[in-house]
Amino acid sequence: MTAAPVDAADYLRFVASLVLVLGLVLAGVWALRKFGVGGMVSRAAGRRRLAVVEAVAVDGRRRLVLVRRDDREHLLLVGGVTDVVVECGIRPQAPDPVEEGRP
């Protein structure tokens, strides 16, 4: 059994196909990030209920994350072997007028 000789046109077709497939994969990833599953979930009047207020690195792996849900905040320690709820049900503080005036 002998294989057919491979010429430059076959290589060019292979490279073009590879570029096309990689382009389609990247376009799909971009579309999922832009329009993802979150875009399919309706929210009341566009108001978001969940937000990351602040995140601080504790060490190379772990972070303290302050998450706001509705009118409550929750302090989470994430990135270790297990994630831990440090404190929950925190009432958000009123903004400090001195802090708001800073550039």
Distance between CA 14 and CA 65 in Å, rounded?
Answer: 47
- On whether the CB atoms of residues 90 and 72 are closer than 8 A, the answer is yes
Distance between CA 8 and CA 52 in Å, rounded?
Answer: 54
Nearest to 56 by CA among 67, 72, 44: 67
Dihedral angle computed from the Cα positions of residues 75, 80, 83 and 84, in that order, rounded to the nearest 10 degrees: -50
pTM for the full predicted model: 0.49
Give pLDDT tens digits for 74-94: 999 999 889 999 998 888 777
Give pLDDT tens digits for 37-61: 555 555 555 677 888 999 999 998 9
